[in-house]
Structure formats: C-alpha cells, structure tokens
Amino acid sequence: MDGYDILAGFLIFFLFFIYVTWFGFSIKIQNEKESGPKIKINPYDNLPLSRKLIDKKNSKVGIFDLGNHILIIGIIILVVFVSMNVD
C-alpha cells in the first residue's frame, strides 16, 4: 500500500462526506417544509455541549453543516501528507 492508495482513500472519503452532507441537508430542508416552524420557550436551557460549541442561537445548524471547515482541515492534512511523501 503506497501513498497513492492512501491519497485515493482520502479523496473517496471526502467525496463521500460531501455526498452525506448534501443528502442530510436536503432531508432536513424537506422535513422543515413538512413540519413547519416550531416555537420554543427558553431555547437556551439545557443545551447539549455540541450545541454550545457549534451555534447556540441557531438550532437548525448541525455538525454536518460545518462541512466547509472539515473539508478545509482535510485538505490541509492531505497537503501535509503529500508533501511528506514527495520523493
């Protein structure tokens, strides 16, 4: 297993991640259209840690909505990996 196999694996993983992000977002939008807006009383009470880290004011943002940040980190890791394996 050489560097190109690992590089291909990373690329396949990122393409799969983009697809899962797009698919999850489209399902979330479809569910919002069907259910309509919901009113919450005191939405900042008992927030989980993930919600406090992502965006505590916008309840519609999930972990997959941070796809750009995760892709940027992945590309930086990919560049570091490729630059370390250059002959």
pLDDT in tens, 37-79: 666 566 566 666 666 666 656 666 666 666 667 778 888 998 8
Host domain of residue 78: 3-84
Buried b (16+ CB within 10 A) or exposed e, 46-59: eeeeebeeeeeeee
Count the domains in the chain.
1
- pLDDT tens sequence across 7-42: 888 899 988 988 888 888 888 888 877 776 666 566
Q: How many C-beta atoms surround the C-beta of residue 4 within 10 A?
A: 10
